[in-house]
């Protein structure tokens, strides 16, 4: 640029006669101050989601997945919400009617526990359900307000005055409606399921309420279950080894060997499970007893049981299915079944005693084989009638010892040993817990599985691998247990008949409760009695009924949001156009929303599902406090305690980061990446500043310039701008924001900074203000800056608005967001010029390299001190150069001006008098010292100069301007 210090200091300076940059758009973003100012401007002028709602175009609904209302915001939140905001802003600019209603997931155990942990013991004891719910509500709302402040600072547009919260009355009411419709369709049922149960506090416990003390040990037992029938395959193998398999003969003893750490569950045994992928052995001891167990454990079992086994043959786990054995404590026969990967050969025998009422894996295997879900323990931990002769023993006291003694008497106990392992205890009573099947509420996924799979096919999954993921999860999904024995949630709206198993739930009770919740909220379930909770027709009968105290799984809460939000809010539609969350939500929200929506309306709640990865540190590690690699979005924006280490980058740099990453996989962030991004940010900002600064005396309403009369260079620039608009539009359409980032960067650096604007300096600064070569350039600059502002506005929203507010001339729109997405005038695209320019630009890069080489050897100073001679190898390039000379504008389209040298000529033969001759890919390039004298104003070398002030030299055109 033309800085005064570069002029010869002894001579008079023409600086004041140049048209220099003038703009209030600052070089530095000063984002900590400037971004909130811009946000205030938006708020005052309703430049936010209100714009989206006032649009008249087609509807576009991006439905927000609710973050949990707990804890400070992290980079994962930033990635998620900023991506959504890119899309919403882009759609608003394209005229879509858009409403974005942010949401929060408010119920559930983590908040319940947070509230309880803050209380002293006595307070906790005196807290009733309503007291707890009140505190949980307060806690959630406080968290929401703090997260909301963060989201707003990130310039996320949405209905912040009326977000959706799963604890709101209208939401709870809509959720009851979803539950009710599923119930009335027959998809909700009661069944048994094992849960963590604390006999000492007589309640079900959640995972978070368990603790695992170091010193727990159990009495573990090796037990041999007597086989009663073999499959034919095994029988024939045994016969080959001369063992009888006809059980009527009653010769020989055949056993399947199991190991368990909970002997008290043996009366509840319904099967033994093997891993189909594990290898097993059939062995005999010296008494001709046959045993089956895992091959890997052969040595250990021999040692433990103090036996010497003869190996008869190996057998695959999958071949053991169908064997039957005698129940260890009851007079019945049970099957060997195939379990899953939970069966290992790390300890025991590789064969798992299966009691579906008392273990989760056992339960799932039980479901697969339709085994009875036998529960042999009451809520105090006492064995029931179902335990047969062991009735009334207590599982935490004497049950195991008595049962072990019984096995010993039956001669099937092989070994008892004390075994130390991880075992869950009740966090309150510090006593061991058990698994116990209790009555729970389920959604029968079987009832609508095929409909769910069909609807998955109709959804557009981005990336496509998401479809396979959710499909396999829905195929493998068991029934969905939706009840929880907790207080902080939406109640399951059911009444139980006192002293009976009868339940009451029908259209009338559901409608009544739905209406009550809409008016009063779900708290009344606990504060009102049955008389008021039941519809009027049950008035006389109400004392016979007792309301249920279970609440719903929080996934049912958030999974109902399509009904509570998309179907109800202004400007939104169901199914939504887009759900956009982390890729873990195939297991979570995408799935729970799909299941409820398909169950009720037989369709998916979304048309497209887009997923993103997770934020990692720069080395690809998970962020954690202990590693000290956590990047806090608040520090990225406002800077840290030491601003040298953690400078304040502002929201736009954070948003630029989101645009820069390939979010389809996990994405890295850290101080180096942020520094690089802030460089890119500065590049875009400085390019914009240059454009604005050169428009200070330009007013498009006073200029009538037609595309036809533009110089070739300007026509090309508009063509290139049109290409960039197309490419960026396509990137946004496909949600490929990293392409936007790359295109933006290369446009600013390669097309503008290094080429068009580089050449434009002479036109803009040196020309007289009204000269056509300057005005036509300004015409192009104004097109670039206005379009660039809109193109970057979904991502760099503050910078875009800042540009708009600093446009030096009047435009119709108060805000950049009112401009609408760029449309390309038909006369901008010019493929003929573009193809010729392609080779001319490549040649320019090549020649610039040669000049740069010459400068590095200090043979010349500025490029303007040289002239270039060029002998092209190819005719096409030669023709392009001739075409430029013939049809170009003489004041703009001189190739020497494009090279920023003093002269350029095509030659037939290499010249003898060059400083440097280089044979490039395009032809022979020769550099010569420019002839003539340097103009003290424009620095071009001219053979004829005139005298200016104080004996300065001026070229003819500068002399004309100064005159």
Report how far apart the first and last C-alpha atoms of the chain are (Å, whole number). Answer: 24
Residue whose tokens read 């058990």: 434
Query: Is 182 near Zn ion (CB under 5 A)?
Result: no
Find the shortest distance in angstroms from Cβ 875 to Zn ion: 35
- Piece of 309-317, 597-605, 851-859, 951-959 that binds Zn ion (CB under 5 A): 951-959
Q: For Zn ion, how many residues bind (rule: CB under 5 A)?
A: 5
Find the shortest distance in angstroms from Cβ 752 to Zn ion: 25
| Contact letters for Zn ion, residues 303-342 (x by CB under 5 A) | ----------------------------------------
> Coil, strand, or helix at residue 389?
helix
Find the shortest distance in angstroms from Cβ 632 to Zn ion: 55
| Contact letters for Zn ion, residues 96-115 (x by CB under 5 A) | --------------------
Cβ-based nearer residue to Zn ion, 68 or 772: 772
Binding residues for Zn ion restricted to 202-261, rule: CB under 5 A: none
The answer to whether 891 and 956 are in contact (CB under 8 A) is no
**What angle is formed at CA 458 by the lines to CA 456 and CA 463, rounded to 5 degrees?**
70
Cβ-based nearer residue to Zn ion, 590 or 941: 941
CA-nearest of 409, 25, 5, 432 to 219 is: 432
Q: Which residues pair with 960 in a beta bridge?
A: none
Cβ-based nearer residue to Zn ion, 97 or 940: 940
Q: Whole-angstrom Cα distance, residue 875 to residue 868?
A: 19
Cβ-based nearer residue to Zn ion, 685 or 937: 937
At CB < 8 A and 24+ separation, what contacts does 328-334 make?
A: 328/223, 328/225, 328/266, 328/269, 328/407, 328/410, 328/412, 329/266, 329/267, 329/269, 329/388, 329/389, 329/390, 329/403, 329/406, 330/267, 330/388, 333/228, 333/229, 334/269, 334/270, 334/271, 334/272
Q: Note the Cα 375 to chain centre separation in Å.
A: 41
**What angle is formed at CA 110 by the lines to CA 106 and CA 112, rounded to 5 degrees?**
75
Cβ-based nearer residue to Zn ion, 593 or 953: 953
Return the beta strands (E) in 340-412 as ranges.
Answer: 351-354
**Member of 938, 948, 952, 953 binding Zn ion (CB under 5 A):** 938
Tokens of 470: 């959710």
Query: Is 412 near Zn ion (CB under 5 A)?
Result: no
> Coil, strand, or helix at residue 934?
strand
Find the shortest distance in angstroms from Cβ 892 to Zn ion: 16
Find the shortest distance in angstroms from Cβ 735 to Zn ion: 51
Cβ-based nearer residue to Zn ion, 165 or 935: 935
Q: Is the dihedral of CA 418, 424, 427, 433 positive or negative?
A: negative
Q: Whole-angstrom Cα distance, residue 759 to residue 713?
A: 10
The answer to whether 792 and 800 are in contact (CB under 8 A) is yes
**Member of 937, 945, 952, 953 binding Zn ion (CB under 5 A):** 937
CA-nearest of 215, 137, 47 to 818 is: 47
Binding residues for Zn ion restricted to 782-841, rule: CB under 5 A: none
- Piece of 715-723, 794-802, 923-931, 955-963 that binds Zn ion (CB under 5 A): 955-963
Q: Whole-angstrom Cα distance, residue 182 to residue 194?
A: 24
Tokens of 952: 């300065």
Query: Is 292 near Zn ion (CB under 5 A)?
Result: no
Cβ-based nearer residue to Zn ion, 193 or 937: 937
Cβ-based nearer residue to Zn ion, 744 or 955: 955
Find the shortest distance in angstroms from Cβ 11 to Zn ion: 14
Find the shortest distance in angstroms from Cβ 872 to Zn ion: 29
Q: Which residues pair with 336 in a beta bridge?
A: 272
CA-nearest of 552, 488, 555, 490 to 135 is: 488
Cβ-based nearer residue to Zn ion, 675 or 956: 956
- Piece of 574-582, 651-659, 810-818, 952-960 that binds Zn ion (CB under 5 A): 952-960
Find the shortest distance in angstroms from Cβ 903 to Zn ion: 14
- Piece of 91-99, 428-436, 605-613, 949-957 that binds Zn ion (CB under 5 A): 949-957
**Member of 38, 383, 403, 955 binding Zn ion (CB under 5 A):** 955
Q: Whole-angstrom Cα distance, residue 103 to residue 284?
A: 65
Tokens of 728: 């960026």
Return the beta strands (E) in 711-789 as ranges.
Answer: none
Find the shortest distance in angstroms from Cβ 844 to Zn ion: 22
Query: Is 958 near Zn ion (CB under 5 A)?
Result: yes
Query: Is 900 near Zn ion (CB under 5 A)?
Result: no
Find the shortest distance in angstroms from Cβ 756 to Zn ion: 21
Cβ-based nearer residue to Zn ion, 552 or 955: 955
Secondary structure tally for the chain: helices H, strands E = 31, 39
The answer to whether 578 and 585 are in contact (CB under 8 A) is no
Cβ-based nearer residue to Zn ion, 636 or 759: 759
Query: Is 403 near Zn ion (CB under 5 A)?
Result: no
Find the shortest distance in angstroms from Cβ 863 to Zn ion: 15
- Piece of 44-52, 242-250, 543-551, 953-961 that binds Zn ion (CB under 5 A): 953-961
Find the shortest distance in angstroms from Cβ 935 to Zn ion: 3
- Piece of 43-51, 342-350, 624-632, 954-962 that binds Zn ion (CB under 5 A): 954-962
Element (H, E) at 677: helix 671-693
Q: Whole-angstrom Cα distance, residue 468 to residue 482?
A: 25
Find the shortest distance in angstroms from Cβ 961 to Zn ion: 8
CA-nearest of 606, 772, 745, 607 to 680 is: 745
Cβ-based nearer residue to Zn ion, 833 or 961: 961
Judged on CB neighbours under 10 Å (0-12, 13-18, 19+), 669 is buried
Residue whose tokens read 């004891």: 125
Find the shortest distance in angstroms from Cβ 696 to Zn ion: 22
DSSP states of 92-108: HHTT-EE----EEB--S
Cβ-based nearer residue to Zn ion, 687 or 942: 942
Binding residues for Zn ion restricted to 11-30, rule: CB under 5 A: none
Binding residues for Zn ion restricted to 906-935, rule: CB under 5 A: 935
Find the shortest distance in angstroms from Cβ 905 to Zn ion: 20
Cβ-based nearer residue to Zn ion, 528 or 772: 772
Gyration radius of the chain's alpha carbons:
39
CA-nearest of 599, 554, 606, 604 to 581 is: 606
Cβ-based nearer residue to Zn ion, 297 or 955: 955
- Piece of 75-83, 93-101, 801-809, 938-946 that binds Zn ion (CB under 5 A): 938-946
| DSSP tag of 754 | I
Find the shortest distance in angstroms from Cβ 3 to Zn ion: 17
Find the shortest distance in angstroms from Cβ 862 to Zn ion: 13
CA-nearest of 199, 221, 190, 189 to 436 is: 199
Cβ-based nearer residue to Zn ion, 595 or 938: 938
Cβ-based nearer residue to Zn ion, 23 or 942: 942
Tokens of 612: 């993103």
Find the shortest distance in angstroms from Cβ 760 to Zn ion: 16
| Helices 109-117 and 129-153, packing angle to 10 deg | 110
Cβ-based nearer residue to Zn ion, 523 or 936: 936
Q: Whole-angstrom Cα distance, residue 176 to residue 451?
A: 22
Enumerate binding residues for Zn ion (CB under 5 A).
935, 937-938, 955, 958
């Amino acid at each position: 640029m033309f800085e005064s210090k570069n002029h010869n200091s002894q001579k008079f300076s023409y600086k004041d006669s140049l048209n220099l940059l003038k703009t209030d758009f600052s070089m530095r973003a000063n984002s900590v101050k400037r971004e909130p100012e811009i946000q205030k401007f938006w708020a005052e002028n309703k430049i936010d989601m209100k714009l989206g709602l006032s649009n008249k175009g087609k509807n576009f609904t991006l439905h927000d997945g609710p973050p949990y209302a707990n804890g400070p915001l992290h980079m994962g939140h930033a990635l998620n919400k900023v991506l959504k905001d890119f899309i919403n802003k882009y759609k608003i600019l394209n005229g879509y009617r858009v409403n974005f209603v942010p949401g929060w997931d408010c119920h559930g155990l983590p908040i319940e526990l947070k509230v309880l942990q803050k209380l002293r013991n006595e307070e906790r004891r005196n807290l009733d359900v309503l007291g707890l719910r009140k505190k949980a509500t307060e806690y959630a709302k406080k968290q929401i307000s703090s997260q909301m402040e963060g989201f707003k600072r990130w310039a996320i547009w949405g209905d912040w005055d009326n977000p959706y919260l799963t604890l709101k009355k209208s939401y709870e009411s809509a959720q009851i409606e979803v539950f009710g419709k599923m119930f009335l369709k027959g998809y909700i049922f009661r069944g048994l399921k094992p849960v963590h149960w604390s006999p000492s506090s007589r309640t079900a416990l959640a995972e978070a309420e368990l603790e695992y003390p170091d010193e727990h040990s159990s009495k573990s037992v090796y037990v041999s279950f007597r086989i009663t029938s073999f499959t034919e395959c095994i029988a024939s193998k045994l016969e080959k080894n001369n063992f009888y398999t006809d059980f009527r003969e009653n010769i020989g003893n055949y056993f399947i060997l199991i190991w368990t750490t909970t002997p008290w569950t043996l009366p509840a045994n319904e099967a033994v499970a093997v891993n189909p992928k594990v290898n097993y052995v059939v062995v005999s001891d010296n008494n001709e007893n046959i045993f089956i167990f895992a091959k890997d454990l052969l040595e250990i079992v021999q040692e433990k049981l103090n036996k010497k086994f003869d190996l008869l043959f190996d057998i695959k786990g999958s071949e053991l299915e169908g064997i039957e054995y005698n129940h260890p404590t009851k007079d019945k026969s049970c099957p060997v079944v195939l379990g899953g990967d939970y069966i290992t050969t790390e300890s025991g025998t590789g064969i798992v005693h299966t009691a579906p009422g008392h273990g989760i894996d056992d339960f799932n295997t039980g479901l697969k084989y339709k085994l009875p879900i036998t529960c042999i323990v009451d809520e105090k931990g006492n064995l029931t009638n179902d335990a047969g002769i062991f009735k009334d023993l207590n599982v935490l006291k004497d049950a195991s010892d008595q049962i072990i003694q019984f096995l010993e008497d039956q001669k099937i106990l092989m070994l008892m040993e004390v075994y130390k392992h991880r075992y869950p205890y009740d966090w309150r009573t510090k006593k061991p817990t058990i698994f116990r099947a209790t009555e729970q509420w389920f959604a029968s996924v079987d009832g609508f599985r095929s409909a769910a799979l069909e609807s998955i096919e109709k959804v557009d999954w981005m990336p496509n691998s998401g479809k396979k993921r959710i499909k396999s999860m829905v195929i493998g999904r068991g029934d969905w247990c939706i009840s929880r024995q907790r207080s902080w949630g939406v109640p399951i709206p059911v009444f139980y008949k006192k002293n009976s198993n009868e339940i009451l739930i029908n259209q009338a009770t559901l409608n009544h409760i739905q209406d009550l919740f809409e008016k009063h909220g779900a708290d009344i379930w606990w504060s009102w009695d049955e008389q008021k909770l039941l519809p009027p027709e049950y008035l006389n009968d109400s004392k016979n009924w007792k309301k249920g105290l279970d609440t719903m799984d929080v996934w049912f809460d958030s999974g109902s949001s399509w009904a509570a939000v998309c179907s109800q809010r202004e400007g939104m539609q169901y199914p939504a156009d887009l759900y956009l969350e982390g890729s873990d939500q195939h297991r979570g929200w995408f799935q729970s929303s799909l299941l409820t929506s398909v169950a009720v309306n037989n369709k998916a709640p979304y048309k497209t599902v887009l997923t993103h990865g997770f934020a990692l540190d720069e080395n690809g590690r998970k962020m954690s406090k202990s590693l000290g690699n956590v990047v806090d979005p608040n520090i990225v924006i406002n800077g840290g305690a030491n601003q040298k280490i953690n400078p304040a980058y502002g929201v736009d740099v954070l948003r630029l980061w989101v645009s820069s990453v390939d979010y389809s996989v996990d994405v890295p962030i850290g101080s180096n990446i942020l520094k690089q991004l802030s460089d890119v940010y500065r590049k875009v900002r400085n390019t914009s500043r240059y454009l604005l600064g050169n428009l200070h005396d330009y007013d498009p309403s006073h200029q009538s310039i037609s595309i036809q009369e533009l110089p070739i260079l300007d026509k090309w620039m508009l063509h290139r701008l049109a290409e960039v608009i197309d490419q960026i539009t396509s990137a946004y359409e496909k949600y490929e924001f990293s392409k936007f980032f790359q295109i933006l960067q290369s446009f600013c650096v390669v097309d503008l900074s290094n080429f068009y604007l580089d050449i434009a300096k002479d036109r803009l600064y040196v020309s007289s203000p009204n000269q056509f070569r300057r005005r036509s350039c300004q015409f192009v600059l104004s097109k670039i800056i206005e379009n660039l502002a809109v193109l970057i506005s979904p991502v760099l929203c503050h910078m875009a608005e800042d540009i708009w507010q600093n446009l030096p001339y009047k435009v119709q729109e108060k805000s950049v967001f009112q401009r609408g997405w760029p449309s390309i005038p038909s006369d901008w695209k010019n493929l003929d010029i573009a193809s010729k320019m392609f080779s001319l630009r490549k040649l320019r890069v090549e020649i610039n390299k040669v000049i740069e080489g010459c400068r590095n050897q200090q043979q010349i100073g500025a490029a303007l001190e040289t002239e270039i001679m060029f002998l092209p190898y190819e005719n096409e390039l030669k023709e392009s150069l001739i075409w430029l000379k013939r049809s170009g504008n003489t004041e703009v389209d001189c190739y020497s001006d494009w090279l920023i040298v003093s002269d350029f000529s095509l030659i037939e033969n290499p010249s003898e008098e060059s400083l440097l001759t280089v044979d490039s890919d395009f032809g022979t390039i020769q550099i010569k010292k420019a002839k003539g004298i340097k103009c003290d104003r424009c620095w071009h070398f001219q053979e004829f100069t005139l005298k200016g002030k104080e004996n300065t030299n001026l070229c003819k055109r500068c002399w004309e301007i100064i005159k």
